[in-house]
């Protein structure tokens, strides 16, 4: 049994970690830069960013109570959207949080210079090293330290707000919206990263005691507290200091404090800034290290990230490697680039978080049972998705390029090192929801096909059609028409040379024509189904058949399956299938009286509605049993099996004939072999070219056993497009 992490983080630690992860660079470094974009409306930008973060906070609170495990954002997106998106989210969020930690340490350097005459980068690297060691020692010590830091930091901030508020000059807010819509949105996107830590605690959810209560309270409570602090502090900053002073300094909080507080207050603000920036970096290491840890447990990252220290019971490798990345960022990457990259990808991740919740709600994951549910679903999620997309429009080109690089790199990692090695036997809730949606759509189409009334069936024959084949075609046409309250029309198509005038040929009745009319007259007299018949003379049989089907408004066209150019329509059959205005069914070797078992083989996706309707009609008329064969493959997720079973149950309910279903786990070839062996008649789709060639002995591995009584190849008039077929084959 492997080691497990102890649940020892209570509500104070949860709230402190979230606040400490937010209140740092977002208020001590970014206001001056954001003010260059939005002017005094930077206050509104901070408030708007908090509002747009709220949907993701609600979504993540719900998912955290359903899955209180290490991994946070990665875990939820992976479970919702599958391993590929989980890899992207895990790698991207890992880097994003690490960027934010580096931003906090590098951004804190100017405040250090105010107190000590020390080199900036070495000190930042030293502080980072200490924090890495603290995280290796244990999460409890980290949580306790975070509470102390946040307590001191909040006390100083409240002091700044209370003492500085009376000094606010309203005149400094003149032209509040002078920067315009674009300036405000640019600033909102830029400061968005200030709220990134609001959901960071979910990444250590596995170490939170009573997660059903403490996770949502900690996440939402910290957001409300932090948003209020941000808006109040930025309001005071703008109101007590000149705009030029705030935008031309690397320590805007210290500049504002100098105008509102006594010297001891300024010193306290500087100390609080240092504590806040350290707490942000600390929380970044704490939570970001959990992403490779969780990915390793799910088979998406090397096993070394999963190792838990025997002494400290912490994921030591994940923490130290994350710390190494942090040190590299501090040493080599400019602070502005770090901030922009972190903000851009955080927006993308929060959009995916909202999509993930919708996927969980729409899917059928039985284990998803949150104790907290997002109110007003799905309105907040849709607002969060739309708002995030709008902000990305204004975040800038370079950050988006960086995010794309991370996404492409994550995809490359997944396909090269995960998928090629067998992947993981798991799929996301979104895949399941999409499968159910596609299944419902196909079931509705099938229901419409089965219950259609007034169905007109056209049987196309030629002078060369043998009487037994003609009889089998008409029998099948009568079965289809009977179940749908329709009629049968039989047409014999005679082709004459181009030199022969058509009126002359139409006026001449050959012996074959007379024999055809005699047979049809007898059949029409004996049939309970209306049968009309006639002959069509043309210079081009294939065009004549298609034109006649269109003229009589046929719903289904029945023709004999051609085995070569010399048989019946020869190579023209494929042209007819491609151009006919209705469903086309090619019939091969059908003995109507000997049918007892009808096998329907999937088209590597849900069953074609026309194929289901044909099989049901034939089975109803002959008293046969229909069996649906669906290859599912081995080691499929339980969600796929459940959804597939539900789809088949709905499909069975639509049929009037007795129906059985077979899930074949050995793949498509095994399903074909089994269906061919167990069935008298096989019903397949025309788009299954390889399969029909095998069934009719054209391929190198013909399947003929058990199908001596016939094969029906169905070409639906309304076949799904190429993309839709790819999606269906992927899902079923």
Whole-number average pLDDT of the chain: 79
Contact between 61 and 220 (Cβ < 8 Å): yes
Residue 452: predicted pLDDT: 74
Model confidence pLDDT, tens digit, residues 579-589? 889 989 988 88
Average pLDDT over residues 402-406: 78
Average pLDDT over residues 525-552: 88
- Decide if pLDDT at 205 tops 70: no
Residue 624: predicted pLDDT: 92
Tokens of 320: 């130290």
Residue 204: predicted pLDDT: 61
Average pLDDT over residues 274-295: 74
- Decide if pLDDT at 245 tops 60: yes
Sketch out the chain's domains with CATH numbers: 11-426 (1.20.1740.10), 441-731 (3.40.50.12370)
Strand partners, 585: 558, 714
Average pLDDT over residues 595-619: 86
pLDDT, greater one: 403 or 349 = 349
Least confident range of 177-191, 556-570, 582-596, 644-658 = 556-570
Cβ density class 267-299: b for 16+ within 10 Å, e for less: bbbbebbbbbbbbbbbbbbbbbbbbbbbbbbbb
Quote the CA–CA distance of 24 and 603 in Å, as a whole number: 57
Quote the CA–CA distance of 703 and 691 in Å, as a whole number: 9
Tokens of 290: 């959990």
Average pLDDT over residues 670-691: 77
Residue 10: predicted pLDDT: 76
Q: What is the bridge-based pairing of β-strands 681-685 and 597-601?
A: parallel
Residue 84, preceding peptide bond in cis (omega within 30° of 0): no
- Decide if pLDDT at 1 tops 50: no
Under the banding of pLDDT at 50, 70 and 90, the label for residue 47 is very high
- Decide if pLDDT at 636 tops 50: yes
pLDDT, greater one: 265 or 208 = 265
Under the banding of pLDDT at 50, 70 and 90, the label for residue 721 is low
In a 3-state reduction of DSSP, which class is residue 631? strand
- Decide if pLDDT at 503 tops 80: no
pLDDT, greater one: 657 or 73 = 657
Residue 720: predicted pLDDT: 65
- Decide if pLDDT at 515 tops 70: yes
- Decide if pLDDT at 643 tops 90: no
Average pLDDT over residues 176-183: 86
Under the banding of pLDDT at 50, 70 and 90, the label for residue 206 is low
Least confident range of 214-223, 302-311, 387-396, 456-465 = 302-311
Under the banding of pLDDT at 50, 70 and 90, the label for residue 548 is very high
Residue 564: predicted pLDDT: 40
Instruction: Quote the crossing angle between the two packed helices 335-362 and 83-115, to the nearest 10°.
Output: 150
Quote the CA–CA distance of 277 and 274 in Å, as a whole number: 5
Under the banding of pLDDT at 50, 70 and 90, the label for residue 547 is very high
pLDDT, greater one: 235 or 84 = 235
Residue 701: predicted pLDDT: 39
Contact between 594 and 496 (Cβ < 8 Å): no
Quote the CA–CA distance of 107 and 116 in Å, as a whole number: 15
pLDDT, greater one: 276 or 699 = 276
Under the banding of pLDDT at 50, 70 and 90, the label for residue 705 is very low
- Decide if pLDDT at 473 tops 60: yes
Residue 45, preceding peptide bond in cis (omega within 30° of 0): no
Residue 41: predicted pLDDT: 93
φ and ψ at 368, to 5 degrees? -85, 95
């Amino acid at each position: 049994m492997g080691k497990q992490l102890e649940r020892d983080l209570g509500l104070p630690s949860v709230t402190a970690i979230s606040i400490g992860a937010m209140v740092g660079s977002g208020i001590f470094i970014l206001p001056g830069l954001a003010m260059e974009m939005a002017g005094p409306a930077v206050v509104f930008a901070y408030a708007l960013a908090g509002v747009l973060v709220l949907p993701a906070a609600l979504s993540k609170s719900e998912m955290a109570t359903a899955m209180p495990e290490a991994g946070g954002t990665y875990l939820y997106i992976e479970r919702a959207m599958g391993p590929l998106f989980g890899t992207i989210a895990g790698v991207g969020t890992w880097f994003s949080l690490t960027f934010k930690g580096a931003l906090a340490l590098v951004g804190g350097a100017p405040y250090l210079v105010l107190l000590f005459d020390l080199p900036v980068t070495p000190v930042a690297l030293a502080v980072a090293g200490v924090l890495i060691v603290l995280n290796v020692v244990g999460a409890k010590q980290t949580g306790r330290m975070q509470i102390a830091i946040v307590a001191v930091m909040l006390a100083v901030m409240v002091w700044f707000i209370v003492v500085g508020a009376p000094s606010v000059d309203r005149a400094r807010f003149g032209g509040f919206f002078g920067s315009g819509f674009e300036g405000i949105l640019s600033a909102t996107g830029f400061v968005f990263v200030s709220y990134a830590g609001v959901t960071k605690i979910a990444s250590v959810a596995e170490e939170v005691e009573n997660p059903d209560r403490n996770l949502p309270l900690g996440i939402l409570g910290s957001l409300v507290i932090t948003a209020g602090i941000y808006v109040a502090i930025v309001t005071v900053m703008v109101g007590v200091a000149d705009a030029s002073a705030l935008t031309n300094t690397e320590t805007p909080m210290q500049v504002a404090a100098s105008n509102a507080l006594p010297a001891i207050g300024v010193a306290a603000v500087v100390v609080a800034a240092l504590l806040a920036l350290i707490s942000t970096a600390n929380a970044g290491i704490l939570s970001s290290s959990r992403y490779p840890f969780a990915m390793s447990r799910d088979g998406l990252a090397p096993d070394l990230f999963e190792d838990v220290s025997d002494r400290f019971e912490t994921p030591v490798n994940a923490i130290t490697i994350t710390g190494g990345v942090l040190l590299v960022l501090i040493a080599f990457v400019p602070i502005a680039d770090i901030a922009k990259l972190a903000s851009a990808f955080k927006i993308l991740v929060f959009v995916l978080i909202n999509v993930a919740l919708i996927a969980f709600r729409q899917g059928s994951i039985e284990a998803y049972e949150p104790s907290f549910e997002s109110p007003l679903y799905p309105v907040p999620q849709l607002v969060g998705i739309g708002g995030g997309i709008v902000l990305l429009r204004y975040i800038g080109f370079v950050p988006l390029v960086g995010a794309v690089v991370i996404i492409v790199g994550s995809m490359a990692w997944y396909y090269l090192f995960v998928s090629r090695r067998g992947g993981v036997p798991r799929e996301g809730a979104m895949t399941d929801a999409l499968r159910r949606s596609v299944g419902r759509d196909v079931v509705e189409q099938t229901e419409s096909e089965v219950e259609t009334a007034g169905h007109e069936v056209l049987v196309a024959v030629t002078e060369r059609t043998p009487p037994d084949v003609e009889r089998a075609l008409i029998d099948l046409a009568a079965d289809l028409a009977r179940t749908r309250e329709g009629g049968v029309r039989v047409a014999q198509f005679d082709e004459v040379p181009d030199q022969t005038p058509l009126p002359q040929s139409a006026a001449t009745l050959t012996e074959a024509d007379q024999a055809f009319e005699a047979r049809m007259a007898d059949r029409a007299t004996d049939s309970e189904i209306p049968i009309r018949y006639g002959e069509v003379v043309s210079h081009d049989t294939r065009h004549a058949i298609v034109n006649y089907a269109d003229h009589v408004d046929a719903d289904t066209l029945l023709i004999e399956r051609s085995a070569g150019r010399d048989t019946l329509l020869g190579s023209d059959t494929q042209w007819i299938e491609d151009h006919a205005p209705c469903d086309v069914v090619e019939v091969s070797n059908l003995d109507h009286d000997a049918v007892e078992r009808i096998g329907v083989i999937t088209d590597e996706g849900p069953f074609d509605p026309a194929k289901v309707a044909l099989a049901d009609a034939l089975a109803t008329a002959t008293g046969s049993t229909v069996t649906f064969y669906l290859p599912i493959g081995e080691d499929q997720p339980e969600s796929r099996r459940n959804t597939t079973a539900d789809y088949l149950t709905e499909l069975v309910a639509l049929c009037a004939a007795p129906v059985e279903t077979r899930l074949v786990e050995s793949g498509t070839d095994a399903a074909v072999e089994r269906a061919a062996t167990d069935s008298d008649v096989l019903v397949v789709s025309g788009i299954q070219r390889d399969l029909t060639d095998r069934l009719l002995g054209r391929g190198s591995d013909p399947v003929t056993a058990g199908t001596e009584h016939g094969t029906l190849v169905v070409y639906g008039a309304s076949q799904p497009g190429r993309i839709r077929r790819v999606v269906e084959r992927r899902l079923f």
